[in-house]
Chain A
Amino acid sequence: MITVDTTARKYRLISLFIASLGILTLLMADIEISATDPMDELLAILAGFISPDLSQIDYLAEALLTTVSFAVVGISIAATLGIFLAPLHHLPLVSHFCAFIRSIHELFWALIFLQMFGLSSITGVLAIAIPYTGIFARVYSDILEQSPLDRRHWINDTSLSVWLYTGIIPCWAAIAQYTRYRFECGLRSAAILGFIGLPTLGYYLETAFSQGQYNQAAGLLLLFFAMIATLKWWLNIRLVLVYLIAAIVYLPWQSQLEFKYLVRFITQDIVPQPLLEPTLNLSHLSQWFGDLVSGQILPGIGASLLLSVSALLCCGVIALLTWPLASRAILGRGYILGHGLLIVMRSTPEIILAFVIMLIIGPSMLPAILALALHNGAIIGYLLAHRADRVQLRVDRPNGLNLWAYELQPQIYPSFISLIFYRFEVILRESAILGMLGVTTLGFYIDSAFEALFFDVALILILVTAALNMLVNSISLRLRRYLALDRIVTA
Chain B
Amino acid sequence: MTQDCPTVFNISNQAIGFKNQPIFSNLSLMIKQGEKVAIVGTSGSGKSTLLNYLYQCRSVDVAYCPQKSMLVDTLSVYHNIYMGILNQHGFFYNIINLIRPFPVHKTRVEQLTRRLGLTGLLFKSIDKLSGGQQQRCAIGRALYQRLPIFIGDEPFSGLDPKQSVELLKAIKDQHQTVVVALHNKEMALNQFDRIIGIKDGAIAFDTPATEVSSEQLDLIYHRIEHSE
Direct contact of A and B (CB under 8 A): yes
A residues sitting closer than 8 Å to B (CB atoms) are 2-9, 11, 392-396, 398, 400-402, 405-407, 410-411, 413-414
The answer to whether A406 touches B75, judged by C-beta atoms less than 8 angstroms apart, is yes
User: Whole-angstrom distance from the CB of A177 to the nearest CB of chain B?
Assistant: 23
Interface digits, B68-97 against A, CB 8 Å rule (1 contact, 0 not)?
A: 001011111001000100110001001100
The answer to whether A410 touches B64, judged by C-beta atoms less than 8 angstroms apart, is no
User: Whole-angstrom distance from the CB of A372 to the nearest CB of chain B?
Assistant: 28
Interface digits, B95-138 against A, CB 8 Å rule (1 contact, 0 not)?
A: 10010000000000010000000001011110110000000000
- Bound CA–CA A451/B84 (angstroms): 63
Tell me if B163 is interfacial: C-beta within 8 Å of chain A. Answer: no
Task: In the A-B complex, list the 6 residue pairs whose CB atoms are closest, starting with the nearest.
Answer: A6-B125, A396-B64, A4-B123, A7-B74, A398-B86, A7-B125
Tell me if B52 is interfacial: C-beta within 8 Å of chain A. Answer: yes
The answer to whether A6 touches B87, judged by C-beta atoms less than 8 angstroms apart, is no
9 sampled A-B residue pairs with Cβ under 8 A: A3-B124, A7-B74, A8-B75, A395-B56, A395-B64, A396-B55, A396-B66, A410-B74, A414-B74
Partner of B120, one of A2, A400, A411: A2
The answer to whether A402 touches B94, judged by C-beta atoms less than 8 angstroms apart, is yes
Partner of B76, one of A4, A392, A401, A411: A4
User: Whole-angstrom distance from the CB of A485 to the nearest CB of chain B?
Assistant: 12
* Chain B residues, CB < 8 A from A413: 74
Tell me if B59 is interfacial: C-beta within 8 Å of chain A. Answer: yes
CB contact under 8 A between A2 and B91, given known A8-B75, A411-B74: no
User: Whole-angstrom distance from the CB of A432 to the nearest CB of chain B?
Assistant: 35
CB contact under 8 A between A8 and B76, given known A2-B120, A394-B66, A395-B52: yes
User: Whole-angstrom distance from the CB of B53 to the nearest CB of chain A?
Assistant: 10
The answer to whether B56 touches A2, judged by C-beta atoms less than 8 angstroms apart, is no
User: Whole-angstrom distance from the CB of A410 to the nearest CB of chain B?
Assistant: 5
Partner of B74, one of A2, A3, A6, A402: A6
The answer to whether A5 touches B55, judged by C-beta atoms less than 8 angstroms apart, is no
* Chain A residues, CB < 8 A from B59: 396
- Bound CA–CA A487/B169 (angstroms): 40
* Chain A residues, CB < 8 A from B87: 398, 402
* Chain B residues, CB < 8 A from A400: 91
The answer to whether A11 touches B74, judged by C-beta atoms less than 8 angstroms apart, is yes
User: Whole-angstrom distance from the CB of A161 to the nearest CB of chain B?
Assistant: 35
- Bound CA–CA A478/B124 (angstroms): 25
* Chain A residues, CB < 8 A from B91: 400-402, 405
B residues sitting closer than 8 Å to A (CB atoms) are 52, 55-56, 59, 62, 64, 66, 70, 72-76, 79, 83, 86-87, 91, 94-95, 98, 110, 120, 122-125, 127-128
- Bound CA–CA A254/B13 (angstroms): 74
User: Whole-angstrom distance from the CB of B99 to the nearest CB of chain A?
Assistant: 9
Residue on B with the closest CB to A392? B70
Residue on B with the closest CB to A11? B74
The answer to whether A5 touches B64, judged by C-beta atoms less than 8 angstroms apart, is no
User: Whole-angstrom distance from the CB of B114 to the nearest CB of chain A?
Assistant: 12
CB contact under 8 A between A3 and B123, given known A394-B64, A395-B56: yes
User: Whole-angstrom distance from the CB of A475 to the nearest CB of chain B?
Assistant: 24
- Bound CA–CA A6/B75 (angstroms): 6
* Chain A residues, CB < 8 A from B66: 394-396
The answer to whether B72 touches A411, judged by C-beta atoms less than 8 angstroms apart, is yes
* Chain A residues, CB < 8 A from B110: 2
Residue on B with the closest CB to A3? B123
* Chain A residues, CB < 8 A from B73: 7, 410-411
User: Whole-angstrom distance from the CB of A422 to the nearest CB of chain B?
Assistant: 19
Residue on B with the closest CB to A408? B72
The answer to whether B122 touches A2, judged by C-beta atoms less than 8 angstroms apart, is yes
* Chain B residues, CB < 8 A from A402: 86-87, 91, 94
Residue on B with the closest CB to A9? B125
The answer to whether A5 touches B128, judged by C-beta atoms less than 8 angstroms apart, is yes
* Chain B residues, CB < 8 A from A4: 76, 123
- Bound CA–CA A393/B72 (angstroms): 10
- Bound CA–CA A24/B43 (angstroms): 57
* Chain B residues, CB < 8 A from A395: 52, 55-56, 64, 66
- 16 new A-B contacts at CB < 8 Å, known A394-B70, A405-B98, A407-B72: A2-B110, A5-B123, A5-B125, A6-B125, A7-B74, A8-B76, A395-B55, A395-B64, A396-B62, A398-B87, A400-B91, A405-B94, A406-B86, A407-B83, A410-B75, A413-B74
- Bound CA–CA A398/B73 (angstroms): 16
* Chain A residues, CB < 8 A from B55: 395-396
- Bound CA–CA A293/B83 (angstroms): 57
User: Whole-angstrom distance from the CB of A4 to the nearest CB of chain B?
Assistant: 4
- Bound CA–CA A8/B76 (angstroms): 8
Partner of B72, one of A5, A9, A406: A406
The answer to whether A2 touches B52, judged by C-beta atoms less than 8 angstroms apart, is no
The answer to whether B125 touches A406, judged by C-beta atoms less than 8 angstroms apart, is no
User: Whole-angstrom distance from the CB of A214 to the nearest CB of chain B?
Assistant: 41
- Bound CA–CA A411/B79 (angstroms): 13
User: Whole-angstrom distance from the CB of A406 to the nearest CB of chain B?
Assistant: 5
- Bound CA–CA A7/B71 (angstroms): 13
The answer to whether A398 touches B123, judged by C-beta atoms less than 8 angstroms apart, is no
User: Whole-angstrom distance from the CB of B79 to the nearest CB of chain A?
Assistant: 7
The answer to whether B128 touches A7, judged by C-beta atoms less than 8 angstroms apart, is yes
Residue on B with the closest CB to A411? B72
User: Whole-angstrom distance from the CB of B146 to the nearest CB of chain A?
Assistant: 14
* Chain A residues, CB < 8 A from B122: 2
CB contact under 8 A between A6 and B124, given known A395-B64, A405-B98, A406-B83: yes
- Bound CA–CA A392/B72 (angstroms): 11
* Chain A residues, CB < 8 A from B70: 392-394
